[in-house]
Amino acid sequence: MPGPLSHIRVLDLSRVLAGPWAGQNLADMGAEVIKVERPGKGDDSRAFGPPWLKDPQGKPTSEAAYFLAANRGKKSITANLSSPQAQAMLRELAKTCDVVIENYKFGDLARYGLGYEDIKAVKPDIVYCSVTGFGQTGPWRERPGYDFMAQGMSGLMSVTGEPDGTPGAGPMRVGIPIIDILTGMYASIAICAALAHRAQTGVGQHLDLALLDTSMAFLSIQGMTYLTTGEAPGRIGNTHPSIVPYQVFPTRDGSVILACGNDNLFAKFCAAAGCGHLVTDERFARNAGRVQNRAILVPLLNEVFAQKTTKEWVALLEEAGVPNGPINSIAEAFEEEQVKARGVRFDLPHTKGGTVPMISSPMKFSATPLKQDTPPPTLGQHTEAVLSGILGLDAAGIARLRESGAI
């Protein structure tokens, strides 16, 4: 069956991660995504290595893992945006598209005749998605923005890491560029919503996504804690601000995560762990009491967990129906039985690497399964096919564009 967006064509003018992540989501859902890259260099993330994809002989190729992570399913064409011929070519391509994604600084593409108003003039119902650091409005709209900056400026790093006074204390960024990825996810949702609106009304629109906006929204519970109390929450490491016990505990040979999200689960845990007396203690019988008396309860639980290995605790708590889990390395995570059963890792053929390993989208559709059968493209791999197949250019016309430096 075709994917749910198999009727959609996307012109992807974005690079690095936030915009490309949105484009990859749309490609996974069946959209035809045409990625526009700089001649000779391509997307900046093509140079973000090592690590590089290895060829069948184990030698590094020029394909960066960073680029491979966010560009599955796309067609790559090259275009020099400073060339009037390339600008005209891209406007012609936009006429055939439903969506444009771009993540240039505010106003940059308008200088090339490729801004929202320019594309709207040739394709009135276009869904045009702009992804920037700070958005299309406000005093910072012309500033460049990056994931790390957004994590710091939004306060996210102020609630991530070990608390003051403990070893390793200090603000910490999340271990992946999560704001880039989340902005790409919000962009995907916004694009799909705008397409649904267009299907009903025939009207396109300009979507304005910003990294800082995403990071502020991502504060969620912590942000609401501040807004409702007037007090900014701090770092609490691997504990939970309002649920106890919901944290990491050291075991005899490692550590384990215990997640008692309600009083019933805490009672189940205590019964399984042989510390049923804690349930009858008024200080710990209800979650509010456990939160208030965290400093008393946690040392008691540390003594309990020190009696068994991580493997023993996982088995015991699993049998008791208490949510728990080990802290895996990424290598260990890919070896988990459930991860394998869900097909999280799969391989696609690649012109340079023989095959390229991929991480599957978590979206599962019963009637319109995802289309994840096309590897990330090499630079300009589809230029001729797109220009001839969509714009109807012949070999001579494509050659002239190349000679002019447009592609």
Measured between alpha carbons, how far is 394 from 108 in angstroms, rounded to an integer? 31
| Beta strands, E only, 295-351 | 324-325, 345-350
Measured between alpha carbons, how far is 316 from 254 in angstroms, rounded to an integer? 16
Sheet holding 9-12, edge to edge: 74-78, 32-37, 9-12, 99-102, 127-132, 205-210
**Cα-flanking dihedrals φ and ψ of residue 90, to 5°?**
-70, -35
Measured between alpha carbons, how far is 26 from 29 in angstroms, rounded to an integer? 5
Active-site position among 28, 43, 147, 180: 180
**In this structure, are strands 354-359 and 345-350 parallel, antiparallel, or unpaired?**
antiparallel
* Tokens of residue 180, six digits: 């880039």
Q: Give start and end residues of each alpha helix (H) in 106-237.
A: 116-122, 147-153, 178-201, 211-218, 220-229
Distance of CA 27 to the CA centre of its chain: 15
Distance of CA 21 to the CA centre of its chain: 6
* Tokens of residue 108, six digits: 């940059």
Q: Is 12 a catalytic residue?
A: no
**Cα-flanking dihedrals φ and ψ of residue 244, to 5°?**
-140, 135
**Cα-flanking dihedrals φ and ψ of residue 41, to 5°?**
-115, -40
Q: Report CA Rg, the chain.
A: 25
166: nearest Cα among 245, 239, 243, 221: 239
Measured between alpha carbons, how far is 156 from 8 in angstroms, rounded to an integer? 35
**Cα-flanking dihedrals φ and ψ of residue 287, to 5°?**
-60, -40
Which active-site residues does the annotation give?
A: 180
